Every structure is written in structure tokens, then in C-alpha cells.
Structure 1
Amino acid sequence: MSICKAYLSTDEAILSHSPTWGEGGSTAVTAILINNQKLWVANVGDSRAVLSRKGVAAQMTTDHEPNTERGGIENKGGFVSNMPGDVARVNGRLAVSRAFGDKNLKTHLRSDPDIQYADIDSDVELLIIASDGLWKVMANQEAVDIAKKVKDPQKAAKQLLAEALKRDSKDDISCIVVRFK
């Protein structure tokens, strides 16, 4: 599928530039709307997309956590650490099991996305795409409830960011809100 190829190409491009850009990596979430009727969502890592249908939140992505994909990590020679007071980490370092880049851990990580599909009809109100800094401090339904109250999608995204900061999010926070009506 084209989405899978795009994700793998992106990972290869990032890895090829690692001497210049450094050894880090990134998570990603992508939403593709076709003819205002078909929505395809793909992701690697813990960035997330949440759809609101009649006010009910529906998670469109899979959070790629090391414990969930432990078998694949261990089969590739890696390990998952579970230190008290911390999240599970690949080789004691990375808190996701799929990511772009991260050259030093690449032999244990995947960069192929999970892909979901949804029909867009009159019941679908909005889509929230955000990094884990939002989702670590806010449930999917809470985010939908906040975003629904604000007509302008840019202002809705800013409201979600402000709420995440108010809740003392310690991680990166990026957010996009897409309105369908």
C-alpha cells in the first residue's frame, strides 16, 4: 500500500541523514481524506488521531508501546525494561516500539504504520491529531469534548494545547483539529 511505502521511505530518508541530523527519531500520524468521504489514518509511535462521531471519541490509531510488541523486539535481539516509576522502554531507552529514525535502536524497532479507515458522513464532526504530550494528560473523550465547544479548528487546537499545559504535561505537545462540518 502507498501509505506503508511512504512511511518506510521516510524512515530511510531520516536514517540516511543521521550523521547530519543526529541519532534521534520521531513518531508520526498521518490522515488522508479522499473526496471528503473516506478517511485513512496511519501512525508509528504514540502520536494519535481521534475521530468524533456524534460527540463520541473513536481512537483511529494504535499506541505502539514496547510491552505490546515485546515479542518482536526480543526476537530482534532487543529487550524491554520496566523500571519502577517509569514506562516500558526498548533497551531501556525508547518509550515506543515503532518510530522513524533512532538509528542506534533501529534493529529492534519497526517503522511500518498501523492503518485505519473510516467513512466520513454527516455524523462525523471532527478529527484531532496530536502528539503524546496531549494524550498523556487527557483522555480521548475529554479532548473531543473540549474541541467540540470551539467552532474554529485552530482555536480548538490552541485550547487543547492550553489545557494540556494546565494539566502539567511534560512532553512535546503538537495538535491539529480538523472540522468536517
Structure 2
Amino acid sequence: MTGREILLKMKEKVGLGSSAADTGKGRSRMSDRHVTHGFHLVKGKSNHAMEDYVVAKFKKFNDSELGLFAIFDGHLGHDVPDYLRSHLFDNILKEPDFSTEPESAVKRAYQLTDGKILEKAGELGRGGSTAVTAILINGEKLVVANVGDSRAVVCWKGMAKQLSVDHEPSKERQTIESKGGFVSNLPGDVPRVDGQLAVARAFGDRSLKKHLSSEPHVVVETVDADTEFLILASDGLWKVMSNEEAVNSIRHVKDAQLAAKHLTEEALTRKSKDDISVVVVSFH
């Protein structure tokens, strides 16, 4: 156990850990590669219920082992991210060409799932959710997709590399306006689609859907001997930490669960007020 891990354990014992947190860990069962994961979620200071949901598990799929990891960050309610947690990966793996064309399969499944959410708007409500998902195939290949501002960052040779794209309204203004929408930019506020939503892509949000995309950014990344770990996190972390700060702060923490917890604690120390959710996947 490293010195940083010992310090984290001591903080936990004396009650300096986060309250009302959800946490967990797991590992790959493959014999030729030791992959572990850990996650930690902390509710923000807002007066609404927790709107972040996490998936972190390994699953046998045909002759492969898949690591399924995701963070769903809801807005205007928790029903949409909860639905995504239960259905998105199933929809991806049902795509007949997932094994041969995972990028196109993931894109279709995202769009299909968004359609189902819109059909169920009466049941799921008017809210929506961002998403970042990562599928690890046999410990060798990562398929990362996202809509919104939850982010995926990999540490490779000690350097931070962002795999996802932050879908900010200001960056997609032309597309939004071409659909008849607008991007507000009021002093003291962030740019918003139709003056409401601070991301340009998301699941759900039926009232904004004419101007809002659910098409994901997808990237396929090879996991090699220099790939150290992957971080998935909601914007509760990224609002207060850069990619490099996040990577550097946990690079010497070998336990993935402790690493995820450390990042949430650091975000709280830096006064993040949003829900904070982190998944760390470690490639030993």
C-alpha cells in the first residue's frame, strides 16, 4: 500500500470520508490480464435527490469478457439516468455488428435508447441525462462514447489524454441555430441551449429535442502496456479539476476504489457543489 493509500484509509477511519456515498470495486476474471475497477459517488449540496448513476462491472459476452463502465448525470430528475443504467448497455450489445463494428453499433444504440426515452416521457418525466460509457473488450480495446459533459480521461505513459468531447452549446451554436434554436450567453451564466440546458447533447429533454442532439462522440482506443488507468467522471469533478490534475493526483494510488474516492474527496475540498461520480479502471 502506498503512502497516499495509507493516508486515505486513516481519513476514512477517523470520519473524514464523504457522507452518504455509494462506493464499490471489482476485477476482471481473465487470467492473462489484471484489470480492476473502483467507483465512488457523492451527492452534491443541491436540495434535489442524487441524479448521478454508475455502471461498473465485468460481463461474459459470447467468447469475450467485457468491462462495462458508465456515468449518467441527470438533470431535472433521476428517472432518465436510472433508465439508462438499466438499458443502454443491453441495447448496445443487442446490436448485431457490435463485435465487428463497435463504433457504429454504439452510435445506433445511443439513438435507439434516446428514442425509447422520448416515447416514455410521460413515465420518465421531462428531464434528461448526459452519459459517458466505456466498454473494455478482453482487456485490450476500449470503446468510449459520450453525450454531454461527463468525461473520459486515460493515463498513458503518465500523461492525461481525453477520450471524450465536452458538448458545449457555444461550440455547437451553428448546428443548434440551424435547427431553429438559440444559445444564450447571459453575464454570469454559462451558454445554454434555448436559455435552459448547459450541454448541447443529451438523452431525453423532450421539450428541447428539436434543437438538441443525442448523437455520441465515439472513439476506439487500444489498451497497451503503457496504458495505466481510465477515469470516468461527471462534471462535478471536471468543474474543479483539470485532466492533468486528476491523473497526477491518483497516479500512485494502486487501489482503484481508493483512487475514485480520492478524486471525489479532492473535488469536495475544492468546493464542488454538484453531484460527484467517479469510476477508475486500473490496468496493472
| TM-score, normalised with respect to structure 1 | 0.97
Find out whether 1:62 has 2:168 as its counterpart: no
Task: Give the aligned partner of residue 23 of structure 1.
Answer: 126
Task: Give the aligned partner of residue 178 of structure 2.
Answer: 75
Rounded to whole Å, the distance in 1 between the matches of 2:120 and 2:268 is 33
Aligned amino acid, residue 186 of structure 2: M
Q: Match of 2:106, SS?
A: helix
Task: Give the aligned partner of residue 8 of structure 1.
Answer: 111
Structure 2 residue ranges without an equivalent (≥5) = 1-103
Rounded to whole Å, the distance in 2 between the matches of 1:167 and 1:13 is 38
- Any residues of structure 2 matched to 1:114-125 within 5 Å, and which? 114-125=217-228
1:149 is displaced (CA, Å) by: 2.4
Task: Give the aligned partner of residue 134 of structure 1.
Answer: 237
Out of 145, 148, 169, the residue aligned to residue 251 of structure 2 is 148
Structure with bigger gyration radius: 2
Aligned amino acid, residue 154 of structure 1: Q
Rounded to whole Å, the distance in 1 between the matches of 2:264 and 2:119 is 33
Rounded to whole Å, the distance in 2 between the matches of 1:158 and 1:77 is 42
Rounded to whole Å, the distance in 2 between the matches of 1:17 and 1:177 is 32
Rounded to whole Å, the distance in 1 between the matches of 2:194 and 2:201 is 13
Runs of at least 4 residues off by over 2 Å: none
Task: Give the aligned partner of residue 143 of structure 2.
Answer: 40
Which structure has more strand as a fraction of its residues? 2
Rounded to whole Å, the distance in 1 between the matches of 2:270 and 2:128 is 26
Rounded to whole Å, the distance in 2 between the matches of 1:49 and 1:117 is 12
Rounded to whole Å, the distance in 1 between the matches of 2:122 and 2:276 is 26
Rounded to whole Å, the distance in 1 between the matches of 2:121 and 2:253 is 40
Moved more, 104-113 or 17-26: 17-26
Task: Give the aligned partner of residue 10 of structure 2.
Answer: none
What is the CA deviation profile of residues 52-86 of structure 1, one whole-angstrom value per residue up to 9, with x for unaligned ones? 00110000000000011111100111000001111
Q: RMSD value over aligned CA atoms?
A: 0.9
Out of 159, 166, 190, the residue aligned to residue 87 of structure 1 is 190
Rounded to whole Å, the distance in 1 between the matches of 2:255 and 2:112 is 34
Rounded to whole Å, the distance in 2 between the matches of 1:52 and 1:35 is 19
Equivalent residue pairs, number: 181
Structure 1 residue ranges without an equivalent (≥5) = none
| TM-score, normalised with respect to structure 2 | 0.63
1:132 is displaced (CA, Å) by: 0.6
Out of 264, 278, 281, the residue aligned to residue 161 of structure 1 is 264
Find out whether 1:53 has 2:156 as its counterpart: yes
Moved more, 3-12 or 105-114: 3-12
Rounded to whole Å, the distance in 2 between the matches of 1:18 and 1:129 is 27
Q: Match of 1:93, SS?
A: coil
Q: Match of 1:32, SS?
A: strand
Rounded to whole Å, the distance in 1 between the matches of 2:137 and 2:215 is 22
Rounded to whole Å, the distance in 2 between the matches of 1:133 and 1:10 is 25
Aligned amino acid, residue 172 of structure 1: D
Identity %: 61
Rounded to whole Å, the distance in 2 between the matches of 1:68 and 1:80 is 10
Aligned amino acid, residue 10 of structure 1: T
Rounded to whole Å, the distance in 2 between the matches of 1:173 and 1:68 is 24
Aligned amino acid, residue 159 of structure 1: H
Task: Give the aligned partner of residue 170 of structure 1.
Answer: 273
Rounded to whole Å, the distance in 1 between the matches of 2:137 and 2:275 is 29
1:172 is displaced (CA, Å) by: 2.1
